[in-house]
Each structure stands twice: as C-alpha cells, then as structure tokens.
C-alpha cells in the first residue's frame, strides 16, 4: 500500500500546486507546495508549503490557506473523483529557506 499512498501524495501535491496557482487569491501566490503527507485512513492530509517573506506574512499566508482549505478540498473532489478527499491542514515548511540560508553562508564563508 506504500506505493499507492506515495502516488496519491504526489497527485495531491501536483493538484494543490495547480489550484494555488490558478484558483486562490494572489496573497497565497508566494506559497510553494513542497509535499503532502496523508494519514493511513485517508481522513487527513498535511500540506507542507514553503513561503517566502517575513514571519508575519508567512503566518498570514498559512491562515489564508487554512481558511481556503474547504474550497481547495471541494476543487480536489471535482478534479480527482476519489472516494474520499482528506481534510487539509497547511503547515509552513522552512526547508527552502534553510537551503537559501546555507547557500548564502557558504558563499560568504
């Protein structure tokens, strides 16, 4: 079942990325979906997003995404035709910011 879950997570990552690009207001345009982890029972999915900007704008973007989670879930239901679309929980993923910081440290050092 691991292969099926990985394919579903990859599919959700791609679809949510497209939805954020085309369907959601501009204030979430700086959010990049870096991955999705789905619970075994398919009831919940954690969506990891990397957001550029200061702490306040990152928190606001996460709040905006969470506010739009039901709408995004509805769009996923129309596009994917799955039996169950998991509830979405958006989480800030600092990995891309960390990569930028490390690259800058290596460049400066």
Burial of 37 (0-12, 13-18, 19+ CB in 10 A): middle
User: What homologous superfamily does CATH list for 2-108?
Assistant: K homology (KH) domain (3.30.300.20)
Whole-prediction pTM: 0.83
Query: What span, in angstroms and rounded, lies between the C-alpha atoms of 86 and 38?
Result: 8
pLDDT tens digits along 46-91: 999 998 888 898 899 999 999 999 999 999 999 998 889 999 999 9
pLDDT tens digits along 13-41: 999 999 999 888 766 667 889 999 999 99
Mean per-residue pLDDT, 87-105 = 78
> Where do the structural domains in the chain lie, given as residue ranges?
2-108
């Amino acid at each position: 079942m691991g292969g099926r879950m990985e394919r579903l997570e990859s599919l959700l990552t791609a679809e949510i990325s497209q939805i954020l690009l085309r369907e959601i207001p501009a204030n979430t345009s700086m959010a990049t979906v870096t991955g999705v982890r789905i619970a075994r029972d398919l009831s919940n999915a954690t969506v990891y997003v990397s957001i550029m900007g200061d702490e306040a704008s990152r928190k606001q973007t996460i709040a905006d995404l969470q506010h739009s989670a039901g709408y995004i879930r509805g769009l996923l239901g129309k596009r994917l035709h799955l039996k169950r679309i998991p509830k979405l929980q958006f989480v800030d993923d600092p990995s891309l910011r960390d990569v930028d910081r490390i690259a800058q440290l290596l460049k400066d050092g």
